[in-house]
Amino acid sequence: MLNFFHDIAQKSAAVLTALLATGFGFIAQPNIVVITPPVPISVLPALPEISVMSPTSTELARQISTATASATTSTSTKTATSSSSSSTKKEKTAETAKIPETKPLPAPKVFTAQLLLDSTGFSLGQRTDGAYRLLLHTTTTANSGFNWDLSETTIGGAAPIPKLEVSFSCDPQPDIPPSGSPDQNPTFSIGTSYACVISLTDALLRKQNKQINFQTGAGRLVVKASNLDTTLKFNKSTNGFVLDNQSNAPVTVTGLAFDMSFTALNTSSPIVLRFLEPENESTLAEYPLQNLPTDSSRPYTRKGADTKASFSFTVKPRGQRLLMIQVLGVQPLASVGVNPEVTVVLQEVTTDHPEIKTALLSSVISWSCIPYNPNQSAQGLPTEQNCK
Contacts (Cβ under 8 Å, ≥6 apart) of 198: 117, 120, 136, 150, 166, 167, 168, 209, 210, 211, 212
187-to-60, 94, 123, 163, 217 alpha-carbon distances in Å = 118, 70, 13, 25, 13
The CA-atom distances, in angstroms, between 335 and each of 234, 245, 266, 316, 372 are: 16, 45, 12, 48, 10
Helices (H), 22-56: none
Residue 353 and residue 243: Cα distance in Å, rounded? 14
Residue 190 and residue 216 in contact, taking contact as beta carbons nearer than 8 Å = yes
Quote the CA–CA distance of 374 and 196 in Å, as a whole number. Answer: 69
What one-letter code names the amino acid at 8?
Answer: I
Class of domain 221-379: mainly beta
Residue of 294, 310, 232 lying closest to 261 (CA atoms) = 294
- Per-residue model confidence (pLDDT) at position 94: 38
**Beta bridge pairs of residue 262:** 302, 342
DSSP for 219-268, written as a single string: --EEEEE--S--B--SSEEEEEEEEEE-SSS-EEEEEEEEEEEEESB--S
SS (H, E, C) 141-174: ECCEEEEEECCCCEECCECCECCEEEEEEEECCC
pLDDT confidence of residue 60: 44
Strand partners, 93: none
Amino acid at 119: S
Each residue's pLDDT tens digit, 195-252: 999 999 999 999 999 999 999 988 899 999 998 889 998 889 999 999 999 998 999 9
b/e map of 62-99 (b: 16 or more CB within 10 Å)?
Answer: eebeebeeeeeeeeeeeeeeeeeeeeeeeeeeeeeeee
User: Sheet holding 164-171: strands in order across?
Assistant: 154-155, 164-171, 193-201, 207-215
Q: Is the separation of the CB atoms in 247 and 220 below 8 Å?
A: yes
pLDDT for 371: 75
Q: Rounded CA gap, 65 and 385, in Å?
A: 135
Cis amide bond preceding 172, omega within 30: yes
Q: Is the peptide bond before 186 cis (omega within 30 degrees of 0)?
A: no
Q: Is the dihedral of CA 310, 314, 320, 326 positive or negative?
A: negative
On whether the CB atoms of residues 57 and 64 are closer than 8 A, the answer is no
* Comma-separated ranges of CATH 2.60.40 domains in the chain: 221-379
For the stretch 86-127, pLDDT in tens is: 444 444 433 444 444 545 445 446 789 999 999 999 999 988
Given CA atoms 109, 113, 117, 122 in this order, what sign does their dihedral have? positive
* Residue-level pLDDT at 213: 97
Kindly give the confidence (pLDDT) of every residue in the chain, 388 residues in length, as a single tens digit, with 9 standing for 90 and above: 545 555 665 665 565 555 555 554 544 444 444 445 555 544 444 444 444 444 444 454 455 445 444 444 444 444 444 444 444 444 443 344 444 454 544 544 678 999 999 999 999 998 888 899 999 999 988 778 899 999 999 999 888 889 999 999 999 999 999 988 888 999 999 989 999 999 999 999 999 999 999 999 888 999 999 988 899 988 899 999 999 999 989 999 999 999 999 999 999 999 999 999 999 999 999 999 999 999 999 999 999 999 999 999 999 999 999 999 999 999 888 778 889 999 999 999 999 999 899 999 999 999 998 876 666 545 555 565 667 6
What does the alpha-carbon distance between residue 329 and residue 365 come to, in Å, rounded to a whole number? 18
